[in-house]
Amino acid sequence: MNSNKPECERDAETIRAPRLIIDAVDDHGAQLAELRDGLLSRPARIAPKFFYDEQGCALYGAICALSEYYPTRTEIQIYERCRRPIAAQLPPDGQWIDLGCGDGAKARDWLGPARVRRYIGVDFAADWLKTTLAVTEQQFPGVDCLGVVTDFTRPFHLHPVLNDCPDAPPIFFYPGSSIGNFTPEDALSLLRSIRSHLDGDGRLLIGVDLVKDTATVEAAYDDALGVTAAFNRNVLRVANRLLDADFEPHRFDHRAFFNATESRIEMHLAASQGHDVRIGEHRRRFEAGETIVTEYSYKYTPERFCALLAEAGYGNMHYWTDERGWFGVFVAEAGGD
């Protein structure tokens, strides 16, 4: 092996074994403390990242197949219809940074059309990331693949990884409207963190759920079959397992509604009756009707999201949507400092 070659140009036999870099991941104790403290606070809160144990992932997959849940299929339709003009706004031979990559399926549809040289999967779940890298390497043997295990919802630093391949411009890919799970202030912080990694040729490709009629957006988070309700209640089973708690999920009702003032869907678990819950060494009283906030999902107008991008330091923005204007796909480059 020629060690003077950039990492992205190493021999194929060298790059096929999944390579993982651990970067700025909280230890397990800190994660448990975050979950416990949120449940003991008033109002109680659980961060959405705790949804995704094995059962939660299966339920989320079922949600994406529901007729009411428009975001996934609408975004895919935009990509299928507009892939060529979107790809035309991306630099060739780039490094594709897949934020919250999951199974990597959405990204793999782009590796060919965007002529990607290097794939970097970024996720909190190391085991899932290994599988994603293995599948991607099998389908694209000519693309260098590596993974970074980190909590990218906090300020992150991928500069050393990107500098391994300095002539390959970075393309940050954040599909699926997850930017909506951040408050506007935290979304601005994340966008600035991404912006700090972009040079003149780098790009951000991001999906955003747009403002629409209340009935449509509420149905997406409160389906008739109750799959989203099961998904929401499952996070209490996660808390039981991680915190040695004794939540009884059937004692909590799923609630989802659109808060027009804040332009966000809110998901809550509301106690159907007053009762006590043991949370490790603590006891917490939930009164009837008291809720645990499990998710906020902010919805943007195209103008408002472009303004957020501009505030974060981006310029030269491009935007695509579906025929109903339900979902937006944005490409932006680094603006002037």
pLDDT digits (tens, 9 = 90+) for 66-83: 999 999 999 999 999 999
CATH of 17-246+300-337, one of 3.40.1280.10, 3.40.190.10, 3.40.50.150, 3.40.50.2300: 3.40.50.150
β-strand partners of 123? 149
For the cut 90, the answer to whether the pLDDT of residue 321 exceeds it is yes
Check pLDDT > 70 for residue 23.
Answer: no
- What does the pLDDT read at residue 151? 79
CA distance 138 to 71: 29
Q: For residue 13, what pLDDT is reported?
A: 44
**pLDDT value for 313:** 96
Mean pLDDT in residue range 242-251: 97
Report the share of the chain in percent with pLDDT over 90: 78
Looking at per-residue pLDDT, the higher value among 291 and 4 belongs to: 291
Asked whether residue 95 carries a pLDDT value surpassing 50, the answer given is yes
Single pTM value for the model: 0.89
- Mean pLDDT rounded to a whole number for the chain: 91
For residues 115-120, average pLDDT: 96
Question: Greater confidence, 129 or 248?
Answer: 248
Could you tell me which residue, 262 or 177, shows the higher pLDDT? 262
DSSP for 212-253, please give it: --HHHHHHHTS-TT-HHHHHHHHHHHHHHHHHTB---GGGEE
Task: Delimit the domains of the chain by residue range.
Answer: 17-246+300-337
Residue 68's SS3 state is coil
Helices (H) and strands (E) in the chain, counts: 11, 14
CA 235 to centroid of chain Cα atoms: 17
Q: What percent of the chain has pLDDT over 70?
A: 92
Least confident range from 53-62, 70-79, 290-299: namely 53-62
Report the phi/psi class of residue 316: left, alpha or beta, with left for phi > 0 and alpha for psi in -120 to 50. Answer: left
Q: At 19, is the pLDDT very low, low, confident or very high (cuts 50, 70, 90)?
A: confident
Give the integer Cα–Cα distance in Å for 56 and 224. 18
CA distances from 34 to 45, 47, 183, 270 (A): 10, 9, 18, 21
